[in-house]
């Protein structure tokens, strides 16, 4: 029998296998280096999937008026200090970063599906896949809506403002279902780890067996003695919260006053969470991304998890 596990990745051919987000998926990916690969002639591979936190935004602390910070980044510095490469170097593994700034959780699902398409052919004995979810709803009110019948769920389940939190669980449950179905098909060389970055996990029950006990921000706050209140925040950026205006377009029969109560609560909790990052510009960059020190802290936490210490 011929061993099909012979595909060698490099910094060029990764674009043959993994799709690049367009402005339809994330306007912030335009004009900068996207995926990264670091080869160490290893039989192990670390793959990281996520948004700008995983990509390494803000790591070089460059800022110019009128220019998005990620387009001025020092890529050599960024790649050396991003958590995935720090971890991969420590365990002497090759490293593949599939982080995409501004992308949402459906893009994480897409990357896992694309990885599965080449999964059996990758020339590695061990493959560790770390996926870090971001704001719930970044992909809401977009072309991804065709994947789910939101209207029926809303009309059947929303009776008051508190029910909208179950709606958020439902939104992420749809993505989790797709990811869960896919990772079950990978061969035994693969290990999957999931977590969230600056938001709290919600609706990921189907992935619970692979979920880390703590979020990335929770680890940063513990390391730097910053107050952190868990289980209160599911989205931070105003442009994400505004996407949920579409709820009343999908189901105009719903009580707008109850919807407004819920929206005000989302804004309150988002502001509280953003304040955690704003209070400490040493540990967070101008766009509220973690410093190189906190990438290392996160990689150390992952190492402890992999070694069975947590």
Flag whether pLDDT at 98 surpasses 70: yes
Domain around 65: 14-146+171-228+291-306
50 with 197: CB under 8 angstroms?
yes
| 131 band by pLDDT with thresholds 50, 70 and 90 | very high
Which alpha helices (H) appear in 56-162, and where do they start and end? Answer: 75-81, 83-90, 105-118, 150-157
Tell whether 198 is covered by a domain.
yes
The average confidence (pLDDT) of the chain is 89
Q: How far apart are CA 145 and CA 122, in angstroms?
A: 33
| Structure tokens, 261 | 């109560």
CB-count burial class (<10 Å; 0-12, 13-18, 19+) for 252: exposed
Considering Cα of 83, then 86, then 91, then 97, what sign does the dihedral take? positive
* Tens digit of each residue's pLDDT (9 = 90 or more) over 64-93: 444 444 555 688 899 999 999 999 999 999
Tell whether 38 is covered by a domain.
yes
Flag whether pLDDT at 170 surpasses 90: yes
Tell me the CATH number at 110: 3.40.50
Flag whether pLDDT at 30 surpasses 80: no
* Tens digit of each residue's pLDDT (9 = 90 or more) over 151-163: 999 999 999 999 9
Q: How far apart are CA 166 and CA 163, in angstroms?
A: 5
Tell whether 4 is covered by a domain.
no
270 with 198: CB under 8 angstroms?
no
Considering Cα of 86, then 91, then 95, then 99, what sign does the dihedral take? negative
- What is the mean pLDDT of the segment spanning 103-132? 95
* Tens digit of each residue's pLDDT (9 = 90 or more) over 208-253: 999 999 999 999 989 888 888 888 899 999 999 999 999 999 999 9
Number of folded domains that form the chain: 1
Tell whether 87 is covered by a domain.
yes
Tell whether 236 is covered by a domain.
no
Tell whether 9 is covered by a domain.
no
81 phi and psi angles, rounded to 5 deg:
-105, -5
Tell whether 73 is covered by a domain.
yes
* Tens digit of each residue's pLDDT (9 = 90 or more) over 275-292: 887 776 567 777 778 889
Tell whether 49 is covered by a domain.
yes
């Amino acid at each position: 029998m011929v061993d099909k596990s012979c595909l060698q990745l490099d910094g060029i051919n990764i674009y043959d296998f993994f799709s690049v987000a367009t402005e339809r998926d994330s306007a912030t990916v335009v004009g900068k280096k996207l995926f990264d690969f670091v080869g160490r002639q290893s039989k192990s591979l670390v793959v990281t999937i996520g948004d700008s936190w995983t990509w390494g935004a803000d790591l070089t602390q460059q800022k110019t008026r009128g220019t998005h910070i990620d387009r001025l980044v020092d890529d050599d510095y960024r790649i050396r200090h991003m958590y995935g490469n720090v971890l991969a170097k420590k365990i002497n593994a090759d490293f593949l970063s599939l982080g995409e700034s501004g992308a949402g959780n459906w893009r994480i699902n897409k990357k896992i599906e694309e990885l599965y398409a080449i999964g059996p052919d990758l020339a590695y004995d061990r493959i560790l896949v770390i996926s870090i979810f971001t704001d719930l709803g970044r992909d809401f009110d977009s072309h991804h809506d065709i994947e789910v019948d939101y209207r029926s769920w809303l009309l059947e389940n929303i009776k008051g403002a508190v029910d909208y939190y179950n709606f958020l669980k439902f939104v992420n449950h749809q993505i989790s279902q797709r990811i869960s179905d896919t990772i079950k098909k990978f061969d035994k060389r693969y290990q999957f780890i999931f977590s969230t970055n600056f938001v709290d996990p919600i609706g990921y029950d189907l992935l619970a067996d692979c979920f880390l006990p703590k979020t990335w921000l929770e680890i940063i706050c513990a390391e730097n003695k910053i107050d952190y209140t868990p289980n209160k925040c599911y989205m931070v950026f105003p442009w994400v919260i505004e996407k949920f205006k579409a709820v009343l377009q999908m189901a105009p029969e719903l009580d707008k006053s109850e919807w407004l109560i819920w929206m005000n609560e989302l804004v309150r909790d988002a502001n509280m969470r953003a304040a955690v990052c704003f209070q400490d510009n040493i540990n967070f960059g101008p766009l509220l991304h973690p410093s190189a020190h906190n990438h290392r802290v996160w990689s150390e936490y992952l190492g402890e998890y992999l070694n069975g210490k947590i």
